[in-house]
């Protein structure tokens, strides 16, 4: 679910997502708006700087998603939507009995996601973000999983005073674009498949490792690829 503008970039996005097997029926078109475009500048270490226009990326509103769509789902994953949109979607998902995860990304510093955090079962953060929200007392629910991405130091899951950690995979980093999204997708997929915290973290690390070895934000990941990269 999301939104695009009314231009050739929107047509291309829909076409390529559909070709990849993604259902685009809940991608809204913002009439007269430009599609959000991001340019990625990658340095020699694979680190990324993002340049972007505002575009129609946040035109999607919570009431654009029919209740029947949530009732047929298992899980809702939110990224850096506007806090009010993310909160409305998270509350609707909670009501429908779905599990909810949130990865606010770098916008956590500029937006108040406190109410959304309270609705989430799983929160994905980097080490700095985790320290910030924990210091603010926003991650106190005992049953919530806080998944902390630590780059070369691997990752860990924190819950109810417990910690499970996983070392990073030993790979050559080409481009970190999309690695966080791949990591989150791996963790969610593994959890929905019944994996425990440790096993899900191993899958997530493997997905992130696969993503950093290729140029660009798109990575084709199979379960065979994941198994070949898992450290445990």
Model-level pTM?
0.89
Per-residue confidence (pLDDT) for residue 7, from 0 to 100: 96
Q: E-strand spans in 71-215?
A: 75-78, 99-102, 122-126, 145-149, 155-159, 162-166
Q: Is 193 a catalytic residue?
A: no
Q: From 65, 98, 83, select the one nearest 191 (Cα to Cα).
A: 98
Cα–Cα distance measured from residue 189 to residue 214, given in angstroms and rounded to the nearest whole number: 21
Choose among 214, 201, 194, 139: nearest CA to 168.
201
- pLDDT on residue 129: 84
Domain count, the chain: 2
Shared domain check, 125 and 56: no
Instruction: Look up residue 35 and give its two tokens.
Output: 């599609």
- Distance (Å, rounded) from C-alpha 87 to C-alpha 18? 28
Range of the domain at 2: 1-60
pLDDT of residue 157: 94
Pairing state between β 75-78 and 145-149:
unpaired
180 belongs to a structural domain:
yes
pLDDT at 231: 66
- Is 209 a member of any domain? yes
pLDDT attached to residue 206: 94
Separation between Cα atoms, residue 116 and residue 112, nearest integer Å = 9
Residue 139 has a pLDDT of: 65
Predicted pLDDT at 15: 95
Q: Could you read off the pLDDT tens digit of each residue along the chain, which spans 232 residues?
A: 999 999 999 999 999 999 989 999 999 999 999 999 988 898 888 888 888 888 898 999 888 888 888 888 999 999 989 999 999 999 999 999 999 999 998 788 788 888 999 999 999 998 888 887 775 666 665 578 999 999 889 999 998 889 999 998 999 999 888 899 999 999 999 999 999 999 999 999 999 999 999 888 888 888 888 988 876 5
Please state, in angstroms and rounded to a whole number, the distance separating the CA atoms of residues 193 and 114.
Answer: 29
Residue 69 inside a domain? The answer is: no
CATH number at residue 185: 3.40.1190.20
pLDDT given at position 142 = 56
167 within some domain = yes
Predicted confidence at residue 53, as pLDDT, reads 86
Catalytic residue among 181, 196, 224, 225: 181
């Amino acid at each position: 679910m999301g939104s695009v503008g009314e231009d050739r970039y929107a047509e291309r996005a829909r076409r390529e997502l559909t070709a990849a097997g993604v259902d685009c029926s809940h991608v809204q078109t913002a009439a007269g708006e430009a599609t959000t475009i991001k340019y990625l500048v990658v340095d020699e270490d694979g680190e990324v700087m993002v340049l972007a226009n505002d575009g129609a990326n946040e035109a999607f509103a919570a009431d654009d998603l029919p209740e029947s769509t949530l009732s047929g789902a298992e899980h809702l994953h939110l990224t850096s939507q506007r806090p009010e949109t993310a909160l409305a979607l998270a509350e609707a998902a909670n009501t429908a009995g779905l599990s909810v995860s949130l990865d606010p990304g770098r916008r956590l510093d500029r937006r108040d996601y406190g109410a959304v955090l309270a609705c989430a079962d799983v929160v994905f953060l980097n080490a700095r973000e985790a320290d910030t929200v924990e210091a603010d007392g926003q991650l106190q629910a005992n049953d919530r999983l806080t998944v902390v991405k630590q780059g070369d130091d691997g990752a860990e899951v924190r819950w109810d005073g417990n910690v499970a950690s996983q070392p990073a995979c030993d790979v050559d980093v080409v481009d970190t674009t999309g690695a966080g999204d791949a990591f989150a997708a791996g963790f969610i997929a593994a959890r929905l498949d019944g994996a425990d915290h440790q096993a899900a973290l191993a899958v997530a690390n493997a997905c992130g490792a696969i993503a950093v070895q290729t140029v660009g934000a798109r990575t084709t990941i199979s379960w065979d690829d994941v198994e070949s990269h898992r450290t445990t």
